[in-house]
Each structure stands twice: as structure tokens, then as C-alpha cells.
Amino acid sequence: MNCCVFDRVLLFLISLSDSDDSQTFELNPTEINSIYKAAKALGLQALMDLCSNKMKSFESRVRKDRFIRFSEVEKRNKGNNELLLILDGMVLDITKWLERHPGGPSIIPAQATNIDCTVFFEMYHVSRQSFLYLKSFYIGELHPDDLKTLKSSAEGAKVSSAFLESLRSFTAPWRLQIDEKEAIMGVHKSF
């Protein structure tokens, strides 16, 4: 186990021992597997459970059997106090996180709703650190037909090829590849 993973395990233990709950332990989506292995090696069932719950969260919220239509994104953004974003074809549900957004809760709904927000994401997130959170918001892929007609986030602005390459290489391990033929024939399971 490397020293960074060991430090994260120690932070988890400190958060458990903190009686006034001022220390909360947040799992970074990219570290779940290595922290789970460390917790298993150390026999820390509480940490293993936390990692398992985070992994199951991805499995239960992601729509694997079919694409998400743009009309659904618009509908969910209008009502139910939800906020879904489209980033390079990925549909992200940032509803619960919006209030914690470092840029404030108003900039995203004002600029990035119901469009392809990839340009804005590149402009405002210089560091690739923001990529670490995408998996925790990911709920599925936008339908390819809708992706072709989706408006871009900023008139005239283009996403750099280097940014797209970086984004796609980071998201490739967990991003879904839906077979269009199966998606048309498939039955939608609960979302």
C-alpha cells in the first residue's frame, strides 16, 4: 500500500474517532479501489462498507440498457429540482452537488443547462482535478441523434482537441458503450 492510500485510511480513522462530527471523510471516486484493497488488508470493515456503497452507487444510478434522450434531460431540468448536464455526450446529474460547487450554485444553471457544456467545462476547469468527480455524477449517455443536434455552450467557441483527448482518456474506463441495436430492443430498467 502506498503512502497516499495509507494517509487516506488514517484520515478515515480520524473521522471515525471525531466525536463532534467536524471531520467528514469524502472518498474521491478514483481512489475507491485502492482504498478498498487497503481496508480489506487492514480488516477495516467500516471503510470496506463505505467503498462498497460508493461502487454500488455507480452501478445503481447509471442507465446501462439504453440512451438518455434530450427531451428527458429538458424535462428533468424543468421540474423536480434536478439539474442534469451534458458534457461530451455524458449525462451528469449534479443536483445534490450544486450547492457545493466552488464557483457558486448559480453559474451552472445560468450557463450550462440544456446544452453541450463542454466548452464551459474546459474554460472554468483549468486543472484536470475536476475530472475526478465526473464519475460520481455520471448517469448515462445522451442518444447519438440528440447529440448531433445539441447546441454548443458558447457561440463560436470550440473545445480544444487536447482537452477532449484528455477528458475521453480519463472517462474511458467507466464510460458506457451502448450497443444501439440492443438499446432500441432493450427494456428500460429502473433509473
Domains of the chain (ranges; CATH) run 3-61 (no CATH), 70-185 (3.10.120.10)
**Longest alpha-carbon distance in the chain:** 55
Question: What residue has cell string 502506498?
Answer: 2
Over 70: is that where the pLDDT of 118 sits?
A: yes
As a whole-number percent, the residues of the chain with pLDDT over 90 amount to 39
Where are the extended beta strands (E) located within the chain?
84-87, 90-93, 138-141
Over 90: is that where the pLDDT of 75 sits?
A: yes
Over 70: is that where the pLDDT of 96 sits?
A: yes
> Alpha-carbon distance 65 to 179, whole Å?
9
Q: Nearest Cα to 148, choosing from 86, 95, 83?
A: 86
**What is the model's pLDDT at position 78?**
92
**What is the model's pLDDT at position 79?**
75
Question: Hey, what amino acid is at 82?
Answer: E
**What is the model's pLDDT at position 21?**
60
Instruction: Flag the least confident range among 6-15, 25-34, 45-54.
Output: 25-34
Between strands 138-141 and 84-87, the pairing is unpaired
Over 70: is that where the pLDDT of 22 sits?
A: no
Where are the extended beta strands (E) located within 89-141?
90-93, 138-141
**What is the model's pLDDT at position 181?**
56
Mean pLDDT, range 74-103, rounded to an integer: 90
Over 60: is that where the pLDDT of 103 sits?
A: yes
Q: Record the pTM.
A: 0.71
